[in-house]
């Protein structure tokens, strides 16, 4: 081959490599940017007085006097709204019946929209469902709910050959020349004093239990459940995996059985995770009954099976990478096989084993399919470690899916979804960083 051709090929190859690395970085940025931008919205946002009321009522957070003051100030700003409403109701009473019924439906719509924005009317009975006990707790939701109060969405189907067109009709038009007419203008102009938005750092989002199926509160049980499941899986998979790897590398004699076993392990690594999930349900729950319902234990066992091949493989590679001279030196000094493994080979292989372990830990934390049938639920309390043996738990990967698709009020809780995604990604990222740091430290120590 001529030298120019070789150079050209070389250059083409390296530029292809660069392009693919650049592409990967771009994808990472494209994926991570919205996750970080929107996910941080669950932690840092403009909270309204309703949020602070909620925090005080349910978690006893905040200075009682200041919360009271806050509420009182908001109540002062809101008073004219309720005054107009009751004035209008009095006006209704004096109307002839035919005219009264004309206002019935629009009035109910206004009252509902007002309830969603401000919470229940002062003095009325407290609703049972928590989502109706409070108005909009976030400023971004406040805007949406304000629009909902000011405008009714209608659809114009006048052109039968085309799709309808959305028409935003100001609700004020329903109430022209009545005592309710000024309400809309007033709410629009005074929304800030009524809701008193303020920047808040809600770090407790990570630890709080969810209230009213994730509409309020945080993701504490999910985070805890994910940690339990991951640690549980490691508890089973790491000892078994490392021991299996030691056996395969140091004790077993290469033969048909061992190579068959290796094929089995590689195959296991390629089995789709949902199959592990179904296996976990069929075996751990329905056959050997490790617990009498879904439980963290059953989920951990299933996840352990899922990551076992990765742990075995990475440990094996790490052990094989230990220079032969180490082993020979130890044996020549008269150390037994067991002693050699424990004092020479394992310590030297530790960084590699650890990396594989932590990477599979990240996988276990993020897997959804294996825990759907064995461990994960939509809502539940945070568990004590002892309860984890017999009880199921919410867990981040499953709840992300659940909130995105199954939840009845998806649009209300987008911030919780993003918060969960953000937390899960951060968790996995942290694990990986931890692995890198550990590896660096241990290999430094070993080099002396």
Burial status of residue 274 (CB atoms within 10 A of its CB: 0-12, 13-18, 19 or more): middle
CA–CA distance, 279 with 302 (Å, rounded to integer): 8
Q: How many CA atoms lie within 13 A of 380 on its CB side?
A: 24
Q: Which is nearer to another protein, 39 or 277 (CB)?
A: 277
* Residue in the block written with tokens 């440990």: 315
129 binding another protein? (CB under 8 A) = yes
128 binding another protein? (CB under 8 A) = yes
Please give the structure tokens belonging to residue 137: 């707790």
124 binding another protein? (CB under 8 A) = no
231 binding another protein? (CB under 8 A) = no
142: helix, strand or coil: helix
377 binding another protein? (CB under 8 A) = yes
With contacts defined by CB under 8 A, name the span among 135-143, 189-197, 317-325, 375-383 that binds another protein: 375-383
Q: Which is nearer to another protein, 20 or 286 (CB)?
A: 286
* Residue in the block written with tokens 């009845």: 408
CA–CA distance, 283 with 268 (Å, rounded to integer): 16
390 binding another protein? (CB under 8 A) = yes
CA–CA distance, 312 with 263 (Å, rounded to integer): 12
Among positions 373, 400, 423, 431, the unique one binding another protein when judged by CB under 8 A: 373
Cβ neighbours for 246, distance < 8 A, ≥ 6 positions apart: 315, 319, 341, 346
Among positions 48, 142, 213, 423, the unique one binding another protein when judged by CB under 8 A: 213
CA–CA distance, 211 with 53 (Å, rounded to integer): 14
Q: How many CB atoms lie within 10 A of CB 112?
A: 13
Q: Spell out, one character per residue from 402 to 441, where the chain touches another protein: x when CB under 8 A holds, - when not.
A: x--xxxx-xx------------------------------
With contacts defined by CB under 8 A, name the span among 27-35, 241-249, 292-300, 437-445 that binds another protein: 292-300
Among positions 233, 383, 420, 427, the unique one binding another protein when judged by CB under 8 A: 383
Q: By CB under 8 A, what part of segment 10-49 binds another protein?
A: none
Q: C-alpha angle 80/81/83, rounded to 5°? A: 60
Write the CA distances from 260 to 176, 257, 267, 276, integer angstroms: 83, 5, 10, 21
288 binding another protein? (CB under 8 A) = no
161: helix, strand or coil: coil
Q: Residue 421 Cβ, how far from another protein at the closest point, in Å?
A: 17
Cβ neighbours for 308, distance < 8 A, ≥ 6 positions apart: 237, 240, 241, 244, 268
With contacts defined by CB under 8 A, name the span among 43-51, 167-175, 182-190, 388-396 that binds another protein: 388-396
Q: Spell out, one character per residue from 157 to 186, where the chain touches another protein: x when CB under 8 A holds, - when not.
A: x--xxxxxxx--------------------
In the beta sheet, which residues pair with residue 152? Answer: 169
Q: Which is nearer to another protein, 200 or 213 (CB)?
A: 213
Closest CA to 191 of 225, 235, 140: 140
Q: Which is nearer to another protein, 166 or 447 (CB)?
A: 166
With contacts defined by CB under 8 A, name the span among 47-55, 263-271, 304-312, 390-398 that binds another protein: 390-398
299 binding another protein? (CB under 8 A) = no
In the beta sheet, which residues pair with residue 47? Answer: 138, 198
Q: Which is nearer to another protein, 204 or 378 (CB)?
A: 378
Q: Residue 156 Cβ, how far from another protein at the closest point, in Å?
A: 9
292 binding another protein? (CB under 8 A) = yes
Q: Residue 117 Cβ, how far from another protein at the closest point, in Å?
A: 15
Q: Residue 389 Cβ, how far from another protein at the closest point, in Å?
A: 6
Q: Which is nearer to another protein, 94 or 126 (CB)?
A: 126
Q: Residue 211 Cβ, how far from another protein at the closest point, in Å?
A: 7
Closest CA to 319 of 244, 257, 266, 256: 244
Q: Taking the CA atoms of the chain, what radius of gyration do you get in angstroms? A: 31
Residues at the site binding another protein, with contacts judged by CB under 8 A: 127-130, 132, 153, 155, 157, 160-166, 211-213, 285-286, 292-294, 372-373, 376-381, 383-384, 386-387, 389-394, 402, 405-408, 410-411
């Amino acid at each position: 081959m001529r030298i120019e051709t070789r150079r050209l090929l070389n250059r083409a190859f390296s530029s292809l490599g660069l392009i693919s690395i650049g592409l990967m970085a771009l994808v990472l940025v494209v994926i991570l940017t919205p996750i970080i931008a929107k996910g941080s919205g669950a932690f840092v946002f403009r909270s309204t007085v309703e949020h602070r009321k909620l925090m005080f009522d349910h978690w006893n957070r905040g200075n009682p006097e200041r919360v009271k003051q806050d509420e009182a100030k908001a109540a002062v700003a809101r008073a004219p709204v309720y005054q107009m409403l009751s004035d209008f109701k009095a006006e209704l009473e004096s109307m002839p019946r035919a005219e009264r019924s004309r206002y019935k439906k629009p009035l109910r719509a206004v009252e509902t929209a007002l309830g969603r924005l401000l919470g229940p009317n002062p003095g009325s009975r407290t609703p049972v469902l928590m989502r109706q006990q409070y108005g909009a707790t976030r400023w971004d939701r406040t805007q949406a709910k304000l629009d909902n109060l000011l405008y009714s969405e209608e659809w114009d189907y006048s052109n039968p050959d085309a799709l309808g067109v959305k028409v935003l009709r100001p609700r004020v038009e329903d109430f022209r020349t009545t005592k309710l007419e000024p309400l809309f203008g007033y709410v629009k102009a005074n929304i800030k004093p009524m809701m008193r938005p303020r920047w808040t750092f809600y770090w407790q989002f990570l630890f709080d239990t969810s209230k009213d199926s994730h509409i309020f509160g945080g993701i504490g049980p999910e985070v805890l459940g994910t940690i339990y499941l991951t640690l549980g899986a490691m508890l089973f998979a790491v000892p078994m995996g490392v021991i299996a790897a030691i056996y395969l590398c140091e004790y077993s004699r290469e033969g048909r059985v061992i190579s068959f076993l290796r094929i089995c392990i590689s195959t296991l690594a390629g089995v789709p995770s949902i199959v592990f999930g179904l296996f976990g349900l069929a075996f751990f729950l329905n056959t050997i009954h490790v617990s009498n319902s879904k439980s963290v234990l059953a989920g951990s066992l299933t996840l352990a099976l899922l990551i076992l091949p990765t742990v075995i493989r990475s440990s094996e590679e790490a052990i094989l990478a230990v220079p032969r001279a180490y082993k020979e030196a130890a044996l020549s000094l008269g150390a037994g096989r067991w002693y050699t493994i424990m004092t020479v080979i394992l310590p030297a292989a530790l960084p590699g084993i650890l990396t594989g372990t932590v990477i599979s830990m990240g996988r276990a934390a993020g897997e959804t399919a294996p825990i759907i049938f064995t461990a994960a639920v939509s809502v539940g309390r945070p568990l004590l470690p002892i309860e984890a043996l017999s009880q199921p738990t919410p867990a981040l990967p499953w709840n992300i899916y659940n909130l995105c698709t199954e939840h009845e009020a998806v649009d209300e809780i987008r911030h919780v979804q993003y918060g969960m995604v953000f937390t899960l990604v951060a968790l996995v990222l942290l694990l990986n960083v931890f692995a890198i740091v550990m590896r660096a430290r241990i290999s430094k120590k070993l080099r002396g």
